[in-house]
Structure 1
């Protein structure tokens, strides 16, 4: 896709992006060579990038997650983590992102003997370097980290404690991720209760593959401030008593025809942000196309929708590409993009005054110049 310069130039806010899902293919190759990692399926950047995208185009969340074995495998040293984080910040800034929350699981980077704290400090240092280099290139960006606990493991309380320890040093919140089926968020209640006591922020991957029970538990049992994906909230929305889950193209429905169930109404009423990732959802089978993705209907129904990349490497995407797809295939306008960008900035895990400053001084002027 040839990205339109006017879309690339728009200021963007990214709340759902995985560090290990956005590594440059050449960096994966370089780090594998430097570390002696020999599991790569290709040794040139173009072929490796194609392998990641093709492997992710399976319609299966489980298989999609398996592609991360390759990137995580080469991110096991301070130097590797620093480089990946720095390049991440620079790549996002070059794409017009002015604020990003990038998530990763520290527990997945201990294979070569690093301690959890060393992982966090290496990534934080990489983000700071990337911010500096991006600013020097004329693309200022603020990047904060979300520390992720894997929902099938037992380190969530340790990771939550790291969030609190480093929240004044580049870490803005907590997340849990991994396969949803069989690993409900309630397995990690101790971590969520600790975070609430410490007034710390957290989001939860929910409603991507498993559906309404995952969303309900994330909100009502765990107290999630945001929902990672949340696309399956349409299972609790109906037209003539038929669930939108059974309608092939919910994006084309008239909002007036849709009745919200109790859970969907609660999510909308309480303005719980949905971290939606259209291209990724298509790859994992949660939607059939961008045009048919529920994000457009949810926007019309005034849910607090945000647009995100999820995994830029696996989806071969960027924030500009996600926005252009919504314009080209779902009929979105620049005003729609402005609305979801402000939604995202309002929903960020940084202090209110910092959010407001970015909205008033960067986002609104940037969109005003585009219209």
Structure 2
């Protein structure tokens, strides 16, 4: 009698922690350690809403848990305030890499808006250099266990997107892998920044666009069909173009079908989406149906401080909600690595040399 192939098993939380993970959507100013915020704020005399690390962490989580994207974004006033000098920015960047490496992340693209870090006299170029210094220190400390790249973000309500796009291209071979726009979607469509996106396309450069989070299908349509986005930041509202009939059959609208057919990556951030009201719960998050329909789904943290989350926590919550196996988590991880802005050969090296062996060891 031959042995049957083993049934796929739902992983333990420890296995999720040890599994190699890939992170494409994480904000540098949304992932600071509370203790670091306290120290940096004390150095510059910035007043915080709480005086110890635990209370401060709780304040960030509660403020971000309001169900409003606008209120959620207000929490960044404090993190950005303490990131206005090169040493402070480099420290935050280094600690970011250390924290991700400890969480089993093997590749990450970390985004932030350089224009938000110049109030104390730093130039945009000096901001990028400080982040890169921190990332390199963090990668060195991790002993080659993690590769990290920058994504430079322009704020959609400002008018500096072309300047930031040019900055990103200037740093393309020195640690910057791509460009992004972020901020409140409603009233600030991505087409306001069309000149920047057209410039990036002419430069053969990669970019993602925050779209389909607080605003619906028009935002996603513009990001892809007008601006040419390589990936969608969140993209959760693509579900508005998916109809599920009473008998369980599914019909995709034109836009949803296009996104799936073209394998346009969705940078999904479940915990954050629940906080901002883009989804009612993890169990009811569209990621379940979109995964079943085999969209190019990736799992991300968005803002680790505000959402009190990590890649392990995000994946573990999906395991609990949907019964995902290690094979499913491997699928998410390879999706993300395929969708990264690293050169193809470097992506392949991480998939074949790190991710597949890492999961094979857990499955063995």
Fold match (TM-score > 0.5): yes
Matched with 1:287 is 279
1:208 aligns with 2:217: no
Spell out, residue by residue over 1:69-100, the C-alpha distance to the aligned partner (whole angstroms, 9 max, x if none).
01001100001100000000000000000000
Paired residues, number: 352
Consecutive aligned runs of 4 or more in structure 1 exceeding 4 Å deviation: none
Matched with 1:237 is 242
1:111 aligns with 2:119: yes
CA RMSD of aligned residues (A): 1.1
Matched with 2:37 is 28
Q: In the TM superposition, what is the alpha-carbon distance from 1:4 to its structure 2 partner? A: 2.3
What SS does the aligned partner of 1:313 have? coil
What SS does the aligned partner of 1:332 have? coil
What SS does the aligned partner of 1:84 have? helix
What SS does the aligned partner of 1:357 have? helix
Matched with 1:218 is 223
Q: In the TM superposition, what is the alpha-carbon distance from 1:48 to its structure 2 partner? A: 0.2
How do 1:1-371 residues align onto structure 2 when only pairs under 5 Å count? 4-38=13-47, 40-135=48-143, 140-240=145-245, 254=248, 257-371=249-363
CA contact (8 A) 1:290 1:330 kept: no
What SS does the aligned partner of 1:314 have? coil
CA contact (8 A) 1:278 1:290 kept: yes
Q: In the TM superposition, what is the alpha-carbon distance from 1:331 to its structure 2 partner? A: 1.5
Structure 1 unmatched ranges of 5 or more: 243-252
Q: Compute the TM-score of the two structures, normalised by the length of structure 1.
A: 0.94
CA distance in 1, matches of 2:122, 2:174: 19
Spell out, residue by residue over 1:117-172, the C-alpha distance to the aligned partner (whole angstroms, 9 max, x if none).
0000000110000101111xxx7100000000000000000000011100100000
Spell out, residue by residue over 1:314-339, the C-alpha distance to the aligned partner (whole angstroms, 9 max, x if none).
00000000010000122111111000
CA contact (8 A) 1:279 1:322 kept: yes
CA distance in 1, matches of 2:182, 2:281: 24
Structure 2 unmatched ranges of 5 or more: 1-11
CA distance in 1, matches of 2:165, 2:322: 38
